[in-house]
């Protein structure tokens, strides 16, 4: 950052030392005007490209921020869903019919497992 300030200060001093430097260069060396025009066009193109890159980066950043917000919503929704399912499972275990169904399911699983193991 300090180097940038020094560079700008140096450029500024040079401009002050030659107040009509650009005008003198063009009037003294008319053939040099083409070079300056080329440099100006090159810098304009470079500025256009950098501006486009900046817009692209900003757009990507905005999309990332939106995705981050969506992800946070999904995480919170997932936590709430897990909590709801755990609460529902605890409530279901308190119902006697549910316990009987679980026992039957476990017994059926054992019978099928025993039959398969015997084959």
Exposure letters 59-89 (e unless 16+ CB within 10 A, then b): eeeeeeeeeeeeeeeeeeeeeeeeeeeeeee
Question: Which pLDDT score, from 0 to 100, does residue 118 have?
Answer: 56
Q: What is the mean pLDDT of each run of 10 residues along the chain (119 residues)?
A: 57 49 48 82 97 97 96 96 94 78 79 53
Question: Which pLDDT score, from 0 to 100, does residue 80 have?
Answer: 96
DSSP label at residue 73:
H
Question: Which pLDDT score, from 0 to 100, does residue 14 have?
Answer: 47
Question: Which pLDDT score, from 0 to 100, does residue 30 have?
Answer: 53
């Amino acid at each position: 950052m300090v180097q940038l300030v020094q560079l700008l200060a140096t450029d500024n001093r040079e401009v002050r030392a030659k107040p009509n430097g650009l005008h003198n260069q063009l009037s003294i060396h008319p053939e040099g005007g083409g070079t300056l025009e080329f440099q100006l066009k090159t810098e304009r193109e470079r500025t256009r490209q950098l501006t486009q890159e900046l817009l692209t980066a900003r757009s990507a950043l905005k999309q990332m921020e939106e995705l981050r917000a969506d992800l946070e919503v999904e995480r919170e929704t997932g936590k709430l869903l897990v909590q709801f399912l755990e609460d529902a499972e605890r409530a279901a275990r308190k119902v006697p019919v549910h316990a009987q169904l679980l026992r039957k399911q476990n017994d059926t699983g054992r019978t099928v497992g025993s039959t398969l193991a015997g084959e």
